[in-house]
Structure 1
Amino acid sequence: MVAVANNGYRAIAFDFRGYGLSEQPAEPEKANFKDLVDDVVGLLDSLGTNKAFLVGKDFGAIPAYLVSAIHPERVSGVVTLGAPFILPGPNAIQSHLLPEGFYVTRWQEPGRAEADFRRFDVKTVIRNIYTLFSKSEIPIARDDQEIMDLFDPSTPLPPWFSEEDLSLYASLYEKSGFRFALQVPYRTLTVDIGIVNPKVAAPALLIMGEKDYALKLPGMVDYVRTGAVKTFVPDLDITFLAEGCHFVHEQLPEQVNPLIITFLDKHSI
């Protein structure tokens, strides 16, 4: 945000409903990705912003692309990090091709992640997730494990993620809890939101780390590297960073920021 602001752009960050400092929906379990699309458009309306570039990390890529597909007149371009275009629905992710202990499968089961996380304080949960998900292997638990059991307490934080960062992130989840974060994305990832043959006409940039565990998800490498993703996002540039992990923007900001700024400069009117 500082980098793009320093280059003359207005940077806006917000917490989706149910996250961080935003309010909790009255019935979180009824929410899905379409609600997040509405949040983005509502935010732009409230700020009097007709058109914007959308930047999304991981599951944030989904509403970023969906806003562009449903409301193309509101989007100048899309940048996503760690995740390509994915349409929520039964085929969004091929969990059946991975063991039952796959973290997405585990977190989709009502109550299971809650019980797993409840064994620890919020700061420990965030520490464990950041450390586990910065590796190049997909987090998969054995039958006698939960996802939090995969973490080795002797493992230090990644060098690019400070104790100060951890404390700030934890404070936000201490306020919001994990209820909505488990609903969207995990428990609504397979919910069809009624979009048929989506097309993202806006220019787009996908930045992924070569060491991102997400590339090991079934079909992901072929989907991205063969350009099959361009079926949905025709005007897409893809950049891989050799040492990048799933949190590539936090890990390598000196490489990611110039890529984003160059994209903004190229496609700004």
Structure 2
Amino acid sequence: MLRFNPTWRNRRRAIVYEFSQFFIETNGIRLNVAAQGAGPLVLLLHGFPETSYAWRYQLAALSNAGFRAVAPDLRGFGRSDCPIESGRYTTLDILGDLIGLMDALEERSAVVMGNDWGAAIAWQAALLRPDRFRAVVALGVPMMDRAPVLPSRLFPMTEQAWLYTHYFSQPGQAEREFERDVGATLRKLYFWASGDAGQRDQKTPNPFGMVPRQAGLLDVLPEPVSLPSWLDEAQFDIFVSAFETSGFHGGLNYYRQLDRNWELQAAFNGLLVQTPALYLVGEHDTGLAIPGMHEIIGAMPRLVPNLRDSQVIERAGHWLQQEAPDRVNAAVIEFLRGL
């Protein structure tokens, strides 16, 4: 197990965040893991395009509150291994990584918390392995019923445009666009999916919306004047460096398994998330622009009968734990202490 201790300083907040990083061999791959604190385990799962560094504020806050916070770079991201085969990125593959990670840490149970793809995985972890995951916190992505048809048939597509998931599913296409200039890619994705983009309506550029068939996703996003207010240059450079090293292939492979995930979920159809749960979403999250999303969120108690609370965080967007760390940390720690 390799171990080193980076120190990140957030000048705007004048706080030093210290956590250890190490590698763990699990489920046939090597994961890079950031960890801080001692106490009951909380696993933190990032989304796309992020890394474990997205949880820098939560690692510190949870540690200070008496918890052991652990954030892996999920397979395909950051310093973790990035299998070439797209078929090795199903939700069950990632869940296997998490179980192996917990075993390596000699932890029997954990609270699992995720944002974006990490939230989707966290819901499945609590659904399928409540013996190992005793509670769940989801940011942005609600728990949803299994769709009636394959996602590739459900998501909109016309001769002129298709939903971003279709675009991401084309092997190599999004990689070529995103990797031409990693800094420009992340600047656009982070800004236009954040609360800095303002109220979500049809006039607001949305990186997770429809993509013209004859253009790329980045082509329809204006160049931001600056980084979003919640991300400084030093922090941004850490994300840029990570994706310049890993590329975007691993993260995009998660989208290429949407149909396969749907097929695998048939075996678990009808199960409910029985563990205690907390749901948080930013007021300006891109997901809230999806037709019917408010109704899906409102219907969650049927699928999650022990949903303790559901909160909308004002003025925040899709990168919730980075945009509104104080409000997220307060809600999460209150939830954890009530378990």
TM-score by length of 2: 0.72
Aligned to 2:300: 229
Cα deviations by residue, 1:120-146 (Å, 9 ceiling, x for unpaired): 222222112112222334333334421
Match of 1:32 among 90, 105, 111: 90
Matched, 1:261 2:322: no
Matched, 1:67 2:125: yes
Q: Report if the CA contact (8 A) 2:188-2:224 is conserved.
A: no
Aligned to 1:104: 165
Q: Report if the CA contact (8 A) 1:100-1:106 is conserved.
A: no
Q: Which amino acid aligns with 1:44?
A: M
Match of 1:44 among 95, 102, 124: 102
Q: CA deviation at 1:168?
A: 0.5
Q: Report if the CA contact (8 A) 2:283-2:314 is conserved.
A: yes
Q: Report if the CA contact (8 A) 1:95-1:102 is conserved.
A: yes
Matched, 1:163 2:224: no
Matched, 1:121 2:181: yes
Distance of 2:300 and 2:97 partners within structure 1: 25
Aligned to 1:217: 290
Q: Secondary structure at the match of 2:70?
A: coil
Q: CA deviation at 1:28?
A: 3.5
Q: Which amino acid aligns with 1:167?
A: D
Q: CA deviation at 1:205?
A: 0.5
Q: CA deviation at 1:63?
A: 1.4
Q: Secondary structure at the match of 2:76?
A: coil
Match of 2:318 among 230, 240, 246: 246
Q: Which amino acid aligns with 2:244?
A: E
Q: Report if the CA contact (8 A) 2:86-2:256 is conserved.
A: no
Q: Report if the CA contact (8 A) 1:62-1:87 is conserved.
A: no
Q: How many aligned positions are there? A: 263
Aligned to 2:45: none
Distance of 2:69 and 2:227 partners within structure 1: 28
Q: CA deviation at 1:262?
A: 0.2
Q: Report if the CA contact (8 A) 1:62-1:86 is conserved.
A: no
Distance of 1:87 and 1:18 partners within structure 2: 27
Structure 2 residue runs of 5 or longer lacking an equivalent are 1-58
Q: Which amino acid aligns with 2:258?
A: L
Match of 1:84 among 142, 161, 177: 142
Q: Which has the higher helix share?
A: 1
Q: CA deviation at 1:102?
A: 2.5
User: What does 1:171-210 align with in structure 2 at a 5 Å threshold?
Assistant: 171-184=241-254, 186-191=255-260, 192-194=263-265, 195-210=268-283
Call closer, same or farther: CA 1:36–1:52 in 2, change over 3 Å.
same
Distance of 2:67 and 2:186 partners within structure 1: 31
Aligned to 1:15: 73
Call closer, same or farther: CA 1:231–1:190 in 2, change over 3 Å.
farther
CA-based RMSD: 2.1
Q: Report if the CA contact (8 A) 1:117-1:125 is conserved.
A: yes
Aligned to 2:10: none
Q: CA deviation at 1:26?
A: 5.1
Structure 1 residue runs of 5 or longer lacking an equivalent are none
Higher relative contact order (CA 8 A, sep 6+): 1
Aligned to 2:43: none
Q: Which amino acid aligns with 1:231?
A: R
Q: Which has the higher strand share?
A: 2
Identity across the alignment (%): 31
Distance of 1:105 and 1:178 partners within structure 2: 16
